[in-house]
Amino acid sequence: MPGKHVHFSEDYMPSPSFSVSTLPSSSGVATPPSLGPGSPYHFTPLPGTAIAHPVVTSKHRYFIPYDLSQSVDDVQSLARYARLPDFVWEEPATQPPTNYMDVRCTRLPWRIIIQPGSGRPYVTLKDLVEQLHRSLQRGVMAGEFEPLPSTMQTRISEAFIFRCKQMPESERRAEHAQGLKRLDFLMGHTTMVGVVSGKEGPNTWMLLVS
């Protein structure tokens, strides 16, 4: 049984409230200076639409397939390999810019609220990548795992065991002792293949993984 192979976080913190009414209004968000149509990083949505930054838009030539199990430092190194300058990480994660993103994924039972963390009034690309990674590193409570169908429990447990085995031997025991993480609910599908605008409001976004 899956429960014999995994255990759960003892210092779990409950998810924050997802009530939009508790979040700041987006009406006061300041748009940063445009890089202009000549810039390879320039992206302009059609009127009435919102789009994600090209780095997290799979159909764009500057898209970087990000492994959500990796740290932000790793993905920034990947970006440098792709010859993207560091300033790109301070650009808005969306156009038009927004002061929060309500990110959802069909494989996850939780929403992930992304908020500005870079001293700017809008969510930057770095905010998005950092906070996605941080959220998925959170431990899982038994009450979040045990109600799931047994087949899903098995797949999540297998993803957990495989993830631990992939780590250096010196880190494997400590990682296993931490128990299941939200990342394991992706069941091995940890590569972000895009962030697209959702249908439940202007600030909702869908995280696509493979």
Query: What confidence tens digit (pLDDT) does each residue in 192-206 have?
Result: 999 999 988 889 999
Residue 95 identity: Q
| Same domain assignment for residues 86 and 125 | yes
For the stretch 61-105, pLDDT in tens is: 888 888 998 887 888 888 887 788 889 999 999 999 999 999 999
Is residue 173 in a domain? Answer: yes
- Burial (CB count <10 Å: 0-12, 13-18, 19+), residue 28: exposed
Regarding whether 131 and 156 lie in a shared domain, the answer is no
Residue 121 resides in a domain: yes
Spell out the long-range contacts of 171-178 with Cβ–Cβ below 8 A and sequence spacing 24 or more: 178/9, 178/139
On the question of pLDDT at 31 being above 70, the answer is no
Tell me whether residue 119 is in a domain: yes
Based on the domain organization, do 105 and 198 belong to the same domain?
yes
Per-residue pLDDT tens over the stretch 135-174: 999 999 999 999 999 999 999 999 999 999 999 999 999 9
Residue span of the structural domain in which 174 resides: 141-184
Please check whether residue 25 lies inside any domain of the structure.
no
The total number of structural domains that make up the chain: 2
Q: Check if the beta carbon of residue 171 is closer than 8 Å to that of residue 164.
A: no
> 90 in a domain, yes or no?
yes
